[in-house]
């Protein structure tokens, strides 16, 4: 039992009655124990209570430190979570930047392809006005004709196949065979696609052959157009010159013979020569006239061919212009569609980026709000714990001080009562002794013996032998002294 428990027990139950105090046997004289303390003092000192209070305060301090460590760990965890969220946001931003870079690269590629298409269109337009325009127009004229005929044939075959397919589908629908109809439709569609691919292949081959044929035709036309038409005239002039030279030689030979035969023969020869010259002139005139008619015919044929070629060239130019305009329209449509799809993709990307940014900002705000709320809650909890601990410490210290004060008061009161009892007992004992001394006769004086000093031999007999049972010592007995104790002290 500690001092505090004993004080509480005494305060609650009060002092025990005198009848319960054990009265030792006066015949038993206790001898002093060897292990008795040098001085009398309480087993438990109030300093022990102060030590317990100090231990309690230390435990509370350790608990406060543990709570602070837990709050520090919680704040550190919140900080790590916030840093992780920030790192994830940075990763998301890097991903957005990479996605934007990829889209920019795609846009640059589209722009490059667009520039290439425009450059090709410019080259096509430039070549349409160059020296190769006639060749291209002629090649396009024949290729377009063959392509048109093949396209018409392909369309006719496709229509026939589609009509047959529709008839088969109608028959299958009437027969309620949905799975076979689907299979047949797929088969017919595959056949139609195969025929279309074959037609496209044949068309491409025909266009290629047509290009080769146009190249050959252009070479022949160049040969015809580049040839000099004066070759025939030169041949005719050379023939006429040869004939005139032959006539001159014949005339010289006739003159030489005439000079040999006389003037009569000369006249005859002159007349023959005149007739022969006239015939030669007629033949020359006829040859020149025939040559003129041939030249006129050749000029007419050449003009007709030139007109035909010019007409065909004009038609080919118109057709090529239509095809070029159609191709340009298709290219523009595709470019517009590409630009529109790119714009839509960029717009969708912007919307997605904005939505993701809003979500991330909202999450960041929620995380910051939760972190701030958690920090505030932790701070409030720490403040409440600190306040409670301080209140408990103050209340404990107040209770301890109050209990110590009450214990001191109780101890002082008990000591005062014991002192008063001892004084009263001493007074009554003195009075009884005086009465007994006055009533007893005087005894003869006994010889006085001096006390021999106790030997220092450890094996000597005990000078204070034990004559009875030792009084049990209660360490928690109240510090009161009874009348029996006083009588025993007086007798000894």
Q: Which residue has the higher pLDDT, 374 or 271?
A: 374
Least confident of 87-101, 254-268, 285-299, 376-390: 254-268
pLDDT of 451 strictly over 70? no
Question: What is the number of alpha carbons within 13 Å of residue 221 lying toward its C-beta?
Answer: 16
- Per-residue model confidence (pLDDT) at position 16: 47
Residues sharing a CB contact under 8 Å with residue 268, sequence separation 6 or more, in sequence order? 258
- Per-residue model confidence (pLDDT) at position 207: 62
- Per-residue model confidence (pLDDT) at position 477: 47
The string of DSSP letters for 326-350 reads HHHHHHHHHHHHHHHHHHHHHHHHH
Least confident of 371-375, 399-403, 448-452: 448-452
Question: Residue range 194-222: average pLDDT?
Answer: 64
CA distances from 423 to 420, 426, 437, 491 (A): 5, 5, 21, 17
Look at the chain and count its residues. Answer: 492
Delimit the domains of the chain by residue range: 1-42+405-430+472-492, 130-227
Residues above pLDDT 90, as percent of the chain: 0
- Per-residue model confidence (pLDDT) at position 18: 45
What is the tens place of the pLDDT at every residue in 243-296?
Answer: 656 766 765 666 566 555 544 554 565 566 566 656 656 765 676 666 667 666
pLDDT of 392 strictly over 60? yes
Binned at pLDDT 50, 70 and 90, residue 176 comes out as very low
pLDDT of 34 strictly over 50? no
Residues above pLDDT 70, as percent of the chain: 41
Cα of first residue to Cα of last residue in the chain, in angstroms, is 33
**Average pLDDT over the chain, rounded to an integer:** 67
| Helices assigned H by DSSP within 24-176 | 46-128, 133-174
CA distances from 81 to 143, 150, 354, 481 (A): 72, 72, 24, 73
Residue with tokens 């065909």: 312
CA distances from 104 to 99, 108, 126, 335, 338 (A): 8, 6, 32, 17, 14
């Amino acid at each position: 039992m500690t001092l505090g428990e004993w004080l509480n027990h005494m305060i609650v139950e009060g002092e025990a009655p005198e009848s319960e105090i054990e009265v030792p046997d006066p015949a038993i004289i206790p001898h002093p124990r060897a292990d008795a303390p040098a001085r009398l003092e309480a087993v438990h000192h109030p300093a022990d209570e102060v030590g317990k209070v100090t231990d309690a305060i230390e435990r509370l301090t350790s608990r406060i430190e543990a709570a602070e460590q837990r709050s520090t760990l919680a704040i550190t965890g919140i900080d790590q979570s916030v840093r992780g969220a920030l790192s994830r946001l940075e990763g998301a931003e890097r991903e957005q930047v990479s996605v934007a870079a990829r889209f920019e690269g795609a846009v640059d590629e589209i722009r490059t392809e667009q520039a290439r298409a425009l450059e090709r269109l410019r080259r096509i337009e430039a070549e349409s006005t160059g020296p190769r325009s006639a060749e291209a127009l002629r090649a396009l004229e024949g290729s377009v004709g063959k392509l048109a005929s093949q396209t018409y044939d392909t369309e006719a075959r496709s229509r026939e196949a589609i009509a047959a397919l529709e008839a088969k589908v109608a028959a299958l629908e009437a027969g309620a065979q949905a799975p076979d109809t689907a299979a047949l439709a797929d088969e017919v569609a595959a056949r139609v696609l195969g025929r279309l691919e074959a037609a496209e292949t044949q068309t491409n081959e025909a266009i290629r052959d047509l290009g080769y044929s146009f190249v050959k035709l252009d070479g022949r036309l160049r040969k015809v157009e580049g040839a000099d038409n004066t070759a025939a005239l030169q041949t005719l002039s050379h023939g006429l010159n040869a004939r005139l030279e032959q006539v001159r030689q014949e005339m010289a030979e006739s003159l030489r013979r005439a000079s040999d035969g006389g003037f009569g023969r000369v006249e005859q020869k002159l007349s023959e020569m005149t007739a022969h010259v006239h015939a030669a002139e007629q033949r020359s005139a006829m040859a020149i006239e025939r040559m003129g008619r041939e030249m006129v015919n050749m000029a007419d044929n050449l003009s007709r061919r030139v007109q035909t070629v010019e007409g065909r060239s004009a038609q080919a130019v118109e057709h090529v212009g239509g095809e070029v305009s159609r191709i340009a329209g298709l290219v523009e449509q595709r470019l517009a569609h590409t630009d529109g799809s790119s714009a839509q993709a960029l717009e969708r990307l912007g919307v997605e980026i904005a939505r993701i940014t809003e979500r991330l900002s909202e999450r960041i705000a929620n995380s910051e709000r939760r972190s701030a709320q958690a920090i505030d809650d932790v701070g409030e909890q720490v403040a409440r714990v600190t306040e409670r601990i301080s209140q408990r410490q103050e209340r404990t210290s107040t209770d301890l001080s109050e209990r110590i004060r009450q214990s001191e008061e109780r101890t002082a009161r008990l000591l005062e009562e014991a002192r008063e009892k001892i004084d009263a007992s001493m007074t009554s004992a003195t009075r009884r002794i005086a009465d007994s001394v006055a009533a007893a006769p005087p005894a003869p004086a006994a010889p006085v013996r001096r006390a021999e000093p106790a030997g220092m031999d450890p094996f000597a007999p005990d000078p204070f032998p034990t004559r009875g049972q030792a009084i049990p010592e209660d360490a928690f007995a109240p510090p009161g002294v009874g009348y029996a104790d006083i009588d025993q002290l007086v007798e000894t």
